[in-house]
Structure 1
Amino acid sequence: MTTSEEPAGFWSYVHADNDAEHGRILRLCQLIEAEYSLITGNEIHMFVDRTDIGWGDKWRKTIDDALAATTFFIPIVTARYLQRTECRRELIQFSKHAERRGVKELLLPILYSAVSDLEENSEDEVEAIIASTQYENWTALRLEEEHSAKYRTSINKLALRLAEIAETIAERPEIIDVGSEIDLLDDEDADNAPGILDSMAEVEELFPVWTKTIETLTSEINEIGDIFTEYAPQMQSAGQAGRSAGASAKLAVARRLAGELNPIADRIISTGSQYADQTLRMDGAISGILLSVANDSTYDRDGFKTFATGIRQLRDAGEKAIHALDGVHESAQNVGSMSRDLRKPLGKIARAIQRFTDGQGLFDEWVRRIDEIEG
């Protein structure tokens, strides 16, 4: 089997997972590279270290260029991977990029250890994305000896799958921009198709919706802060009692606090999910606008400036809200250690931060591309 081009890939993993596996995760990458070369006669270069300049340069080119060569994204999914902000951000960005180009197969997760709630209807955006792919289940294989026939057969199967996907995509017509199909229309339809300014105006209509979501989150953060302020003296007073009586009194206060925090934590999770959902749904349109503007030196600079300013203001407001939520959560951790009743609402707040950060990552990427265009 041969392919017409030499693909590349991003091997996305958590270093702590590789350390826990005594280097097996990186060796798995090397074995796949070698097997791919053996069965195709071509090379596949895996970028493995996101701190390396090569990763950053290739990553930006892949995400920014609609005509990029065949480039896989292979996340090594573990419980720890799903907790890493940078890993989640990369997976979401690549997923949306592959969707725009009509090459979803280039996202090829390897489920390295079992994780809970890996379902397409999961409230966690990253878990839902992974579940929607034909991921490779490595949860049992990782326990096999690396030189065993079963392990080597699985390496061969994975390399074959990469080669087949690369070959299939090489023969598929390139989709320049899923968000803007004007090039595929006939003259009459093209005249009626929305232009860049029309597309920007449509997106700008959603700015107040995003602003409202951020304002809601800010209000909920303040509400949590007020509750902690109210309960702080009660906790301090309870701690001044004798050892046995003090513990019972503090537990009672902690349980009342948990009861008040729970409904607010549920609302914050809903707000965080709403924010992530809003950004994920609009990524195609916004990325299409940015790609079109980047490729058109005659674009309306004043119109784009207004659009860019709006995106930056939303990014800054979201960043401010996340910092405030982080601060509340960090302060609450000390109180949370006193009672397991408090762990539930604090866990919800942590998940809300994660979901809000998922959406914020796309805003950061849009602003980076805007900076490049204006620069």
Structure 2
Amino acid sequence: MAKVQPAGFWSYTHRDDQLDGGRITRLSERISHAFEMITGEPLEIFLDKKAIEWGEAWRRRLDIALTGTTFLIPVVTPKFLVSQECRREVITFAGHAASLGLEELLLPILYVDVPQLAEGSRGEPDDEVLELIARRQWVDWRDLRLEDEDSPQYRKAVHMLALRLSEIIESAPPPTPVQPPGTNDSTEDAPGFVEAMAEMEQALPSWLDTIQQFAGIITLIGEQTSWASNEMTASDARGGGFAGRVRVTEELASRLADPVETVDALGAKYWAELASIDPGVISFVRQAADGDLSVEDRNVAQDFFRAVNELADVTRETTENLRGFSDSVAGAAEGSRLLRPQFRTIQSSVQKVIDSQTIIDEWVRLIGETDLKDNR
């Protein structure tokens, strides 16, 4: 197998780069140059996500298995975390890296303070992308970004980061495909390809049920919010003033208490289950695509792939509807101190479902590139 040239995908928001005078893109160039100085090999950095070359390289690098030479370097800022494109890149890459046991290939740079990643922050981050980042040994650039780019301190930090990249490549173990939870038993009783595929297929109806329950609760929340809006209009017409609005707000908060708790639990459950099985599904799709499968195994794989595509058709439509709801909640969250925590919980839960769709969409993409697509 020909040696694969090291490459890095620079995940950042263009607005952050503009606000910082182009320093984020210049940092990528400095790291690339320092890497080549250290190793004698070029490190290709892909920067422009709008370029066709970026998308083709992204898919090619994921599809040939990362093999320890492809990095995703997220430049983490508050704007990064609200960029759906950036979130999608982290989630997709993390799944592929984990599927091969190469999690160090995701190397975040904390560029601006994000409280949930700060030392001493309590508990796990409530944001799933932050959780993926927090599990890695991220590089702290919060103070360094304020240094002169030609200062010894800055140059040394660039050198150390490039050195770390070279060491990861040097020490990366051979890719080791990860099996889904419950299928990594090495004994004779361990489930084979057919059993493991069947086990995953049985989980699909549960996920569909969860997303449908979630959508139903969101509809209920929307109805209660509309009720409150109508009540406020009626109260204003009666001359109720701000006291009337407060009364309606308190009643709405009471009505939303149980639905918000439910939607929070459903969103967390949905994300956790999909994220935990994602590396194993990616491995199995690769195995199905690359392996010399028996007729029975091919049929089982096709059944599973068809079920995944059917799930995706339903969840994609639901997710699009939720995206619009999340945007409306974002504005409402600032309107009332009493309702703000509930609306932010709703928004966080909806984001978990949106991010989960990224996982399912990547499965569909990988399945679509195999010769096992269901043609019946």
TM-score range, shorter chain: 0.7 to 0.9
Note the alpha carbon deviations across 1:226-248, whole angstroms, 9 max, x for none: 21232232111123255xx5333
Amino acid at match of 1:39: I
- Residue identity opposite 2:255 in structure 1: E
Letter in 1 for 2:260: A
Once the 2 structures are TM-superposed, how far is the Cα of residue 10 of structure 1 from its aligned partner? 0.6
Matches within 5 A, 1:272-291: 272-291=267-286
Deviation at 1:222, TM superposition (A): 2.1
Matches within 5 A, 1:170-209: 172=173, 174-179=174-179, 194-209=191-206
Q: Secondary structure at the match of 1:73?
A: strand
Secondary structure at the aligned position of 1:113 is classed as coil
Q: Which residue in 2 is equivalent to 1:144?
A: 147
Question: How do residues 118-133 of structure 1 correspond to structure 2 at under 5 angstroms?
Answer: 118=117, 121-133=124-136
Q: Secondary structure at the match of 2:8?
A: strand
**Residue equivalent to 1:95:** 94
Distance 1:238 1:337, change over 3 A: farther
Is 1:293 aligned with 2:292?
no
CA contact (8 A) 1:123 1:273 kept: no
Alignment of 1:313-352 (within 5 A): 313-332=310-329, 335-336=332-333, 338-352=335-349
Alignment-mate amino acid for residue 152 of structure 1: R
Please list the CA deviations of residues 28-75 of structure 1 after superposition, one character each: whole Å capped at 9, or x if unmatched.
111111111122221101111222222212211222223646111110
Given candidates 344, 352, 362, the residue that maps to 2:359 is: 362
Residue 42 of structure 1 corresponds to 41
Corresponding residue for residue 161 of structure 1: 164
For residues 285 and 297 of structure 1, do their structure 2 counterparts lie closer, same or farther at Cα, with a shift above 3 Å needed? same
Q: Which amino acid aligns with 2:236?
A: G
Q: Which deviates the most, 97-106 or 75-84?
A: 97-106
Q: TM-score scaled by structure 1? A: 0.88
The partner residue of 2:252 within 244, 253, 257 is: 257
Partners of 1:306 and 1:19 in 2: how far apart?
A: 48
Q: 8 Å contact 2:332–2:343 — kept in the other structure?
A: no
Work out the CA distance in 2 between the residues paired with 1:267 and 1:308: 30
Corresponding position of 1:82: 81
Q: Which moved more, 1:195-204 or 1:149-158?
A: 195-204
Cα 1:290–1:105 shift into 2, 3 Å: same
Distance 1:42 1:76 in 2: 23
How many residue pairs match? The answer is: 361
Structure 1 letter corresponding to 2:61:
T
Give the aligned partner of residue 268 of structure 1: 263
- Report if the CA contact (8 A) 1:251-1:338 is conserved: no
Q: 1:84 to 1:335 in 2, by over 3 A?
A: closer
Letter of the 2:135 counterpart: S
Q: Which residues of structure 1 form unaligned runs of 5+?
A: none
Do structure 1's residue 221 and structure 2's residue 218 form an aligned pair? yes
Cα pair 2:68 2:169 within 8 Å, conserved: no
Structure 2, unpaired ranges of 5+: none
Higher mean alpha-carbon deviation, 151-160 vs 80-89, is at: 80-89
Moved over 6 A (4+): none
Q: Which residue of 1 aligns with 2:306?
A: 309
Q: Of the candidates 350, 356, 359, which is equivalent to residue 353 of structure 1?
A: 350
Contact 2:68 2:102 in 1 (8 A): no
Alignment match, 1:15: 14
2:156 counterpart letter in structure 1: T
8 Å contact 1:67–1:176 — kept in the other structure? Answer: no
Question: Which is further off, 329-338 or 41-50?
Answer: 329-338
What is the one-letter code of the residue matched to 2:110? L
Partners of 2:39 and 2:64 in 1: CA distance = 26
Q: Cα distance 1:8–1:331, how it changes in 2: closer, same or farther (>3 A)?
A: closer
Pairwise CA distance, 1:297: 5.8
Aligned equivalents of 2:259, 2:193: Cα separation in 1: 40
Q: Please give the alpha-carbon distance, in whole angstroms, between the structure 1 residues aligned to 2:312 and 2:115.
A: 31
Deviation per CA, 1:285-329, whole angstroms, max 9, x where unpaired? 211221011113655454333212211222222223323333434
- Separation in 2 of the partners of 1:217 and 1:195? 33
TM-score (norm 2): 0.87
Distance across 2 between alignment mates of 1:332 and 1:160:
44
Mapped partners of 2:132, 2:66: distance in 1 = 23
Asked whether the equivalents of residues 312 and 367 of structure 1 are also in contact (C-alpha less than 8 Å), the reply is yes
Tell me if structure 1 keeps the 8 A contact 2:68–2:175: no
CA distance in 2, matches of 1:218, 1:113: 35
Distance change >3 Å, CA 326–CA 106, structure 1 → 2: closer
- By how many angstroms is 1:114 displaced? 1.0
Cα distance, 1:341 vs. partner?
2.5
Matches of 2:275 and 2:335, distance apart in 1: 37
Sequence identity of aligned pairs in percent? 35
1:251 is matched by which residue type in structure 2? Answer: V
